[in-house]
């Protein structure tokens, strides 16, 4: 079984800390990113999400959002799945979308990455 709670590091050395997953699948934590540097240190932002445990075995899927606190007006949504290899190593795979505010509907095309 794959456990989402704990400390995770991505390929860009950002960290994600997830508290215990509740019985209903909800969780929260914080995301420390090195991608947007300010003053040479990682910035912590709150995250909230939910895990969906498969009914018939398999690996859980999950989704969470990060509200970039105090250094960006953007919000990012992540969706992914947790896997465990034969050696017991847990790996999270995700896809993400980042939304930045724009000044008009005509600029909407450039707001999402």
Write down the mean pLDDT value for the chain.
Answer: 88
DSSP 58: S
Q: What is the pLDDT of residues 17-62, one digit of tens each?
A: 999 899 999 999 999 887 655 555 667 899 999 999 878 878 899 9
pLDDT score of 37: 53
Closest Cα to residue 25, out of 56, 58, 64?
64
Expressed as residue numbers, the domain containing 73 is 6-110
Kindly state whether residue 26 falls inside one of the protein's structural domains. yes
Q: What is the pTM of this model?
A: 0.84
pLDDT score of 18: 95
Contact 19, 4 (CB under 8 A): no
Kindly state whether residue 53 falls inside one of the protein's structural domains. yes
Contact 109, 99 (CB under 8 A): no
Q: CA-to-CA distance for 113 and 35, rounded, in angstroms?
A: 14
pLDDT score of 42: 62
pLDDT score of 57: 77
pLDDT score of 19: 92
> Would the pLDDT of 6 be above 80?
yes
Total domains in the chain come to 1
Q: Which has more pLDDT, 5 or 13?
A: 5
Contact 81, 51 (CB under 8 A): no
Kindly state whether residue 1 falls inside one of the protein's structural domains. no
Kindly state whether residue 78 falls inside one of the protein's structural domains. yes
Q: What is the CATH number of the domain that holds 39?
A: 2.40.128.30
Contacts of 80-88 with C-beta under 8 Å, sequence gap 24+, read 82/2, 82/3, 82/4, 83/2, 83/59, 84/1, 84/2, 84/59
């Amino acid at each position: 079984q794959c456990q989402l709670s704990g400390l995770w590091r991505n390929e860009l050395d950002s960290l994600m800390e997830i508290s215990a997953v509740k019985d209903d699948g909800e969780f929260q934590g914080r995301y420390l990113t090195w991608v947007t540097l300010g003053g040479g240190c990682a910035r912590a932002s709150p995250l909230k999400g939910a895990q969906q445990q498969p009914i018939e075995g398999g690996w859980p899927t999950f989704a969470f959002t990060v509200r970039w606190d105090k250094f960006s007006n953007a919000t990012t949504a992540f969706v992914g799945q947790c896997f465990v290899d034969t050696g017991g190593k847990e790996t999270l795979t995700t896809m993400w979308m980042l939304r930045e505010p724009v000044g008009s509907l005509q600029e909407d095309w450039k707001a999402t990455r």
